[in-house]
Amino acid sequence: MFKVDRRLFEHFDMILMLFICMVCIMAFFNLYSASFPHRAYGIAPYIKQGYFFLMGITVFIIVLSFDYQILHSLNYPIYGITTFLLILAFFVGDSAGGAQRWINLGFFKLQPSEPAKLMLVIALASFYSRKEVVDGYSIKELIVPVALTAFPFVLILLQPDLGTALMLGIIFVSMTVFVKLRLSTYGILTTIAVGLGGFAWENLLKPYQKQRIQTFLDPEQDPMGHGYQIVQSKIAVGSGGKFGKGYLEGTQGHLHFLPERHTDFAFSVWGEEWGFAGSFVFLAFYFALLFWGLYVAMQAKDRFGVLLAFGVVMLIFWQAVINLLMILGFLPVVGIPLPLVSYGGSSLLTTIVGLGILMNVRMRRFHNVPSVD
C-alpha cells in the first residue's frame, strides 16, 4: 500500500498546475478548430482527445500518489516492458502510412515509441544518479547509457519512425551533457555522430526520408508534391498577420489546404487564427511551463530527482522546438508532435505522465519527512 504524507498537499505547485491547465485549455480549443467542420463519419478528433485528457487527469493523480523514488528501483522493469512492446509492434502492430508502430488495445491504439521516450529519461536518470563522476564521464563509462539508448533507437528506426528515433538520441545527448563529460569525450562522440550520420544516409534512410530532408533544403522545388506541407504551413502562419483571422475563421485549415492540421501542423492553425499576438501569448505560457520545470529540477532534493525532472523538461522542450521549427520551414518534416497540442492519445498520455513526475518531484522536494498513513 502507498503511504501518503498529508503535508504533500502543502507543497503542491499551483504555478506549475496553472501553466499546465492554460496550455491544455488553449490546445483543446485549437484542436476543435483544427478538426472543424467535422466529417459525418467517425468520432471527431477533439472528442477523442477529450477522452484522453480525462484519462490523463486520472493518470496524473495516480503518478502523484507514490514517491518518484520508486522509479529509481523499477527503471529496468519499465525499460524491459517498454522494449517488449516495441518488439511486439513488429508482430501484432497495426500499419498506416507504410509504418507499423501501433498496438490495438481496443479502446485506443498504443504507440509504444511514445512512452519509450519517457522510459529512456527514467533509465538515464537512474543510471547517472547511481554512477556519479566528478571529473566527467569517459567513453568507457558511457557504454551502458549508449546501449540503453541504442536498443530502442534501432527498434523505432526500423518501424520506421525517424523523428521519434532522433528524439531518443536528443534525450541522450541532453541528459549526458548535463551530467558533464570530459573534453576528450566530446570530440570522440562528435566524430562517431558524424560517421553514423553518413552511414545512415547511405544505408539506413529510406528514399522518402531522404526526400523530406531535400525538400526542407528547397521546398519550392516541388511545391505541389513533397514540399506542399511546408509551403502551406508557412502560408497559414504568415497569413495570420498581427492579430489573426479569428477563431474558426482560418482558411488554410478549414478549406483543407493545410495537411495534418490536427497533428503535426496543429500550431499552424493557431498561428493563422490568432496571429503574432496570439502565438506570442501561447508560446509565453508554453515555455514558462518549461522554464518553471527547470526551476523544479534545480530545487529537487536528490540527484535522481534533478535528472528526472530535467529529462522530462528536455523531452517536452525539444519536441516543441523541433515541431515549431518544422512548421516554419526551418527543419524537415519528421513527424514530431507538439506535446499537449497535437492530436494523439499516446503522445498526450506520455506527456501528462511526464508532467505528473515533474509535479511529484516538486511535491517531495523537502528532506527527511516521515510518511503517515
Asked if residues 78 and 350 have their Cβ atoms less than 8 Å apart, the reply is: no
What is the pLDDT confidence band of residue 373, given thresholds at 50, 70 and 90? very low
Check whether 148 has a pLDDT greater than 80: yes
Domain boundaries, the chain: 6-34+44-363
Instruction: Indicate whether 371 pLDDT > 80.
Output: no
Taking the CB of residue 99, how many other CB atoms lie within 10 A of it? 17
Q: pLDDT (tens digit, 9 = 90+) per residue, 96-146? A: 666 667 888 877 788 999 999 999 999 999 999 988 787 888 888 999 999
- CA angle 303-15-343, nearest 5°? 90
Express as a percent the part of the chain with pLDDT over 90: 49
Q: Which of 119-133, 167-181, 192-206, 355-369 has the lowest mean pLDDT?
A: 192-206
What are the C-alpha distances in Å from 58 to residues 13, 52, 229, 339? 18, 10, 36, 18
Task: Tell me which of 180 and 62 has the higher pLDDT.
Answer: 62
Report whether pLDDT(1) > 50. Answer: no
The predicted pLDDT at position 203 comes to 66
Query: Which of helix, strand or coil describes residue 4?
Result: coil
**Low-confidence winner among 23-27, 35-39, 281-285 (lowest mean pLDDT):** 35-39
Kindly state the average pLDDT of the residues 21-48.
84
98 compared with 86, residue with greater pLDDT: 86
Average pLDDT of the residues in 250-266: 76
The pLDDT of residue 212 is: 61
Angle at 189 between CA 152 and CA 145, to 5 degrees: 35
Assess contact for 102 and 131: CB atoms under 8 A: no
pLDDT at 184: 80
Alpha-carbon gap, residue 63 to 67, rounded angstroms: 8
Q: What is the mean pLDDT of residues 314-331?
A: 92
In contact, 87 and 143? CB cutoff 8 Å: no
Lowest mean pLDDT among 63-72, 167-176, 245-254, 282-291: 245-254
C-alpha cell read off for 315: 523531452
Task: Say what the pTM is.
Answer: 0.89
Alpha-carbon dihedral sign for residues 292, 298, 304, 305: negative
Q: Where does the pLDDT of residue 372 fall: very low under 50, low under 70, confident under 90, or very high at 90 and above?
A: very low
Average pLDDT over residues 264-277: 91
pLDDT of 300 above 60: yes
Q: What percent of the chain stands above pLDDT 70? A: 83
Contacts of residue 33, defined as CB under 8 A and 6 or more positions apart, other chains included, come to 247, 248, 250, 253, 269, 273
